[in-house]
Amino acid sequence: MSTYKKNFLTDVILRLDFPPIPNRGDEDPPTTFEQKIIANFPIKEPVKGFVLTMENKEGDFTAERKEETVWRYKANDGKSLVEFKHDFLTIASKDYKDYSSFKVIAEKILKSFFESYEVKTINRMGLRYIDRIVLEEKDIFEWKEYLNADLLQGLNFFEDKKQVRRAMQVIESAPEPDTNLTFKYGIFNSWYPNELLQKEFFLDYDCYSFAFPVEEVEKNLDKFNKVATDYFEKSITDKLRAILNHE
């Protein structure tokens, strides 16, 4: 994502989904991997959940409810975390400074993970940037000075904008070969279903690819960041850039 003196990012999420690791029981802590990351992510919070699976045996469907554990590790400040289960790994940050810093941390965690488990292929990899742009202005629907006008067309449908409680759009595209982008944008309304109380606009870029060898993870991480950065720059105006560069 673009480098400015500050940003509006609320969450940056890197997730890898892969074939289930053989003989990896989710009820058992990932001891080897845990030991490699515990110094930077010392707060362990196992999260219990349930998965419902359906099986067809000669025309008869049976359902099985299985308990699973997601192993969550947080940094001391609670602003970054790692989540692991037998078929996915997530690295998330709520205190994103710049891509270079995020990549250094992500690569250390990925190196520890691949040293701990033999994973050869990635089913899906995604890098997601969520921006919540909040401005202290009274006209909460006036965004044309800050954002690309093409993102605002839907708001013009309502003559009385005070009626609007939420206005989100979703576009799915393939900006590069083997690279997909789900772009969500608009007025999410953090106080929904109440009326809008603050001037806020969301830009949510989720870049992802399917089915590739683990050797391509770093290359895809760089590629996803570039795609998200390019679309972010296309989404904003110089007036918002000035705000981002203001001390």
Residue 115 domain flag: yes
pLDDT of residue 71: 95
In a domain, 86, yes or no: yes
108 is in which domain, residue-wise? 9-244
Distance of CA 136 to the CA centre of its chain: 26
Residue 235, pLDDT above cutoff 70: yes
- Alpha-carbon distance of 33 to 6, in angstroms, equals 33
Query: For residue 71, what are the contacts with CB-CB under 8 A and spacing of at least 6?
Result: 26, 29, 30, 34, 44, 46, 47, 83, 84, 85
Does residue 2 lie in a domain region?
Answer: no
Say if 145 falls within a structural domain: yes
What pLDDT does 59 receive?
67
pLDDT of residue 52: 64
Q: What is the pLDDT of residues 15-54, one digit of tens each?
A: 999 999 988 876 778 899 999 999 999 999 999 876 666 6
The pLDDT of residue 107 is 97
The mean of the pLDDT values for the chain is 91
Q: What total of structural domains would you count in the chain?
A: 1
pLDDT at 1: 76
Rounded Cα–Cα distance for residues 16 and 88 (Å): 5
Cα dihedral angle (237, 129, 124, 213), rounded to 10 degrees? Answer: 80
Please check whether residue 59 is in contact with residue 69, taking contact to mean a CB–CB distance below 8 angstroms: no
Report pLDDT digits (tens) over 88-98: 999 999 999 99
Q: How many CB atoms lie within 10 A of CB 129?
A: 25
For residue 103, name the pLDDT band (cuts at 50, 70, 90).
very high
Longest dimension (CA), the chain: 67
| In-domain check, residue 3 | no
Q: Give a yes or no: residue 56 inside a domain.
A: yes
**What percent of the chain has pLDDT above 90?**
72
How many Cβ atoms from other residues are within 10 Å of residue 15's Cβ? 17
Top pLDDT among 195 and 163 is at 195
Whole-model pTM: value is 0.91
> So what's the pLDDT on residue 164?
84
Flag whether 1 is in a domain: no
Identify whether 89 is part of a domain. yes
